[in-house]
Amino acid sequence: MDLPHTQEPRLTSLSHGGGCGCKIAPGVLTGLLRGTAMLPVPEELMVGIETSDDAAVYRLNDRQALVATTDFFMPIVDDPLDFGRIAATNAISDVYAMGATPIMALSLVGMPINTLSGETIARILEGGAMACRDAGIPIGGGHTIDSVEAIYGLVAFGLIDPDHVKRNAGARPGDVLILGKPLGVGIMSAALKKGQLGDEGYARMIGATTRLNTPGPDLARLDAVHAMTDVTGFGLAGHALEMARGSGCGLQLDWSAVPLLQDARDLAGQGFVTGASGRNWASYGGDVELAAGFADVDQALLSDPQTSGGLLVACAPDSAEAVLTIFRDHGFAEAAVIGRAVEGPGRLQVA
């Protein structure tokens, strides 16, 4: 995890918030975007901003739709190669979350060129290129600026059959909920920034955040998969609420079934919680019903911002094993059934 030049500052010291913890709080974002809903929408735009979905989807013809998204953020780790890998993996995830196959990316780069060496910046870009190679796509160009904080990410594009698009708004009462990756990335990043995350914990965090959500296209081809999203900056609670509101039903989570990164709960108990976790809860906590005696540490994990988090899938109960098999075939051994969709308003219950 050593920097190429010891005189350079740690990457995380240059950012006021790392990874998807940089996202604007959901309540604030809703207000900022309110006016854009009045813009004219062509009929070819299958998915826009109406349900805060993961990407835009534009129908090209009866067999193809273009999926387009962008994501970028400040450093979540100090190693420049790992930062680039994480940021690119996270950006491509939104393509997978719609069920699409990635086809190309563009780089978005903002760097403090008088603070970081060319070698460090090149390593960040190399990390992004590694993630794109893993996804089987080229980087076709991009844009760079001189920035006070280090910023890196991608514009990512994918293709999908319009009949296979999976939105975050299709869950049906009776569906089961399946989560593909364990939670706790924000907690671990907070510990890292304070120098309290060991090498094994760092390796677990990198393993989770650089794992591409490749099950997406295979899951999209299952008719029994009714909704899909990825869990990122708003935490599990926030993205589950988006699914509930968009689908017009309630979601219930069995907290004991939710997979967590090893040591994440202990670290949260020691106070390694991001500021974004609190902002998330302030934005949507009123729509979350917690079981009596629900611990503060678990509430922090529930709203913990995930960088390059897992897919959250709503599917018919009799297809749950097929969904889990797809996850496991792609190397997601910790995927688990964590709850269900129920009749009722778009709220979240956690027991």
20 is catalytic: yes
Do residues 330 and 248 make contact, with C-beta atoms less than 8 angstroms apart? no
Exactly one of 20, 22, 132, 315 is catalytic; name it: 20
Helix (H) or strand (E) holding 103: strand 101-111
* Helical H segments across 23-182, by residue range: 26-33, 80-97, 118-135
pTM to 2 decimals? 0.91
- Cβ neighbourhood burial of 32 (10 Å; 0-12, 13-18, 19+): exposed
* Distances from the Cα of 188 to the Cα of 43, 52, 185, 202, 270, angstroms: 43, 27, 5, 8, 11
Nearest CA-CA partner of 310 in 348, 347, 260: 260
The alpha carbon of residue 292 and the mean position of all alpha carbons in its chain are separated, in whole angstroms, by 29
> Which residue matches tokens 């935490």?
235
Check residue 50 and give its pLDDT.
84
- Burial call 47-81: b when 16+ CB within 10 Å, e when fewer: beeebbbbbbbbbeeeeebbbbbbbbbbbbbbbbb
Question: What is the chain's pLDDT, residue by residue, as a tens digit (351 residues)?
Answer: 434 445 788 898 887 655 545 555 555 655 655 655 566 788 999 998 888 888 999 999 999 999 999 999 999 999 999 999 999 999 999 999 999 999 999 999 999 999 999 999 999 999 999 999 999 999 999 999 999 999 999 999 999 999 999 999 999 999 999 999 999 999 999 999 899 999 999 999 999 999 999 999 999 999 999 999 999 999 999 999 999 999 999 999 999 999 999 999 999 999 999 999 999 999 999 999 999 999 999 999 999 999 999 999 999 999 999 999 999 999 999 999 999 999 999 999 999
Give the integer Cα–Cα distance in Å for 241 and 13. 32
Do residues 155 and 66 make contact, with C-beta atoms less than 8 angstroms apart? no
